[in-house]
Amino acid sequence: MGSRMGPRMLTGMLTGMLTGMLVWVLTGMLSRVRARMLTWVLTWVLARVLTRVLLTSLHLLSATLLSSGVLRQLMALPLLVAGSHSSLHLLR
């Protein structure tokens, strides 16, 4: 896997920066009570969005790994290690 940023990651970063700037501007403009409530609401919404993006990314990653066969090879690794360990034990 390369270190290139995908469009989803770039969109997520831009959304996070814009949300942060919006919270910063609005908290400076509103009274303290309203600012706290707005900050809480925006934080909650941002957490929901980031959770959705993270789950979608994990789903796409697992689908990619499954389709390429890498995940099956990784899942077989403990069986190979256990098999080699038991065969070494039999040689003793």
DSSP 6-33: PHHHHHHHHHHHHHHHHHHHHHHHS-HH
Query: What's the CA gap between 22 and 3, in Å, rounded?
Result: 29
Residue 44 has what pLDDT?
A: 87
- Domain limits of the chain? 7-66
Residue 45 has what pLDDT?
A: 87
Which residue from 23, 22, 61, 64 is spatially nearest to 40, judged by alpha carbons?
23
pLDDT tens sequence for the chain (92 residues): 445 667 777 777 788 888 888 777 776 766 666 767 878 888 888 888 888 888 888 888 878 877 777 767 777 666 666 655 555 555 45
CA dihedral 79, 81, 84, 85 (to 10 degrees): -110
Residue 85 has what pLDDT?
A: 53
Residue 77 has what pLDDT?
A: 67
